[in-house]
Amino acid sequence: SYGLTQPPSVSVSPGQTANITCSGDNLEDEYVSWFQQRAGQSPLLLIFQDTKRPSGIPERFSASMSGNTAILTISGTLTLDDGDYHCQAWDKNNYVMFGGGTKLTVL
Amino acid sequence: QVRLQESGPGLVKPSQTLFLTCTVSNASISSPNYYWSWVRQPAGKGLEWIGLIYSSGNTIYNPSLRSRVTISVDTSTNQVSLRLKSVTAADTAVYYCARENHSGWRFDSWGQGTLVTVSS
């Protein structure tokens, strides 16, 4: 089982905005990261510390917090954004938690 | 640019011990700025954190795997190792090593992953 809850799938049309949620107990007290994982590839860090983008990540990827729910927003979605998206946080015992992953389909 | 490379047997028999190594290039595993983690992913499923090791050698393990897992480092070879004993088919997965960077508490580097199949 996963400590964080994500929807299994999200669909979006190219050019539209996709929102992927991640919920967990006391998530507002922890830093959340988001990863993109294309088919057959390793996870790629998209967002850390709730809202920060590493260098090289396009501005169309952004994130926010609403209470105990983290939200990844992909604006102007491209077909190459198709893949799995994972949220991650640390719990109070320094354990690492992942969400179950959300499959984003761009069609 | 840091590079992480997992290696080890692709096939392990049930009840035996899985042993993987992660060779780190362009970063020192002794640095206090990083933790080193193992994460696995069964086919078609999400990521599961296995555990991590500090530069001091202290470890934290996923409670669900703690009784079977050992993570260690070899500073002479700049490698991080994973031992998982008494494996079953449920341990079949792609295994990744990943670096956690304290600057932002982020997993900023991942290996390409290695598939381990548990089967007789």
Residues from chain B that touch A54, judged by Cβ atoms under 8 A, are 106, 108
The label of the residue with tokens 């790629």 reads: A44
Distance CA B39, CA B93 (A): 10
Contact A42 B113 (CB under 8 A): yes
Nearest CA in chain A to B104: A49
Exposure b/e, A54-83, CB count within 10 A at least 16 = b: eeebeeebbbeeeeebbbbebeebeeebbb
Q: Chain B closest CA to A33's CA: distance in Å?
A: 7
For chain B, how are helix, strand and coil distributed in percent, rounded to 5?
5, 50, 40
Could you report the per-residue pLDDT of B38-94, keeping only the tens digit for each? 999 999 999 999 999 998 899 999 999 999 999 999 999 999 999 999 999 999 999
Contact A54 B52 (CB under 8 A): no
pLDDT confidence of residue A57 = 98
The label of the residue with tokens 């539209």 reads: A16
Q: How confident is the model at residue A93 (pLDDT cuts 50, 70, 90)?
A: confident
Give the list of residues 6+ apart from residue A21 with CB closer than 8 angstroms, or none.
Answer: A6, A7, A69, A70, A71, A72
pLDDT confidence of residue A34 = 98
Question: Looking at the complex, does the CB of residue A36 fall below 8 Å from at least one CB of chain B?
Answer: no
Residues within 8 A of A (CB atoms), B 87-106 only: 96, 98, 104-106
Question: Looking at the complex, does the CB of residue A2 fall below 8 Å from at least one CB of chain B?
Answer: yes
User: CA torsion A40→A43→A46→A50, rounded to 10°?
Assistant: 140
